[in-house]
Amino acid sequence: MFKKLNILDEKDKTLRKISKEATFPISEKEKDLVDQIIKELTYSQIEEYAEKYDLRPGTGLAFPQLGILKRIIVIVDEYEPGKFNNYVVVNPNIVSYSEEMIAADVGEGCLSVNREVDGHVPRHARVTVTGFDLDGNPLRIRAREELSIAFQHEIDHLDGILFYDRINKKKPFFTEYEIRLI
């Protein structure tokens, strides 16, 4: 039985709050929620399930988007058609990043933002993220390109930042000579 998550809309003030560090052990309820997030994000990227359950495609979700102000993010990355890597990071931190900046050519979207937002979001092409898995074991993840964008986007949610906050209002679009568009 599949039940859709209740994802907060951008108008909800909870999304603008800073999340608190998660403490261990992570509760069974929160672990079950992580499983539910992974399932929904995976289904959202598989066309037949996305249509069947009326899901918008999504790669990541942060706990604040569900009204839980804890520093936990989930990313489901389709690295080749039908094959996914799941990243669950508790208390993530970006510990290093490239100077090279990129932006998603078509712009970014968000499961909490139910409208089109025009503009490029400058992001680091590569990041190294540390944190913990659900059992409290240390993690170190090196992410590049789209996956790097996803980590930066989800970690922003933990600090009350939405992707469009990072769009330059005076210059919302870049040329490929100004920033590498992917």
Which residues lie below 8 Å from residue 84, measured CB to CB, with a gap of 6+? Answer: 42, 45, 76, 77, 78
Task: From residue 165, give the alpha-carbon distance in Å to each of 5, 69, 84.
Answer: 25, 19, 29
Exactly one of 51, 145, 154, 176 is catalytic; name it: 154
Other C-beta atoms lying within 10 Å of the C-beta of residue 51: 9
Q: How many whole angstroms separate alpha carbon 8 and alpha carbon 2?
A: 19
Which residues lie below 8 Å from residue 109, measured CB to CB, with a gap of 6+? Answer: 56, 58, 117, 163
Identify whether the C-beta of residue 17 lies closer than 8 Å to the C-beta of residue 69.
yes
Other C-beta atoms lying within 10 Å of the C-beta of residue 95: 11
Residue 51: active-site member = no
Looking at the annotation, which residues are catalytic?
154
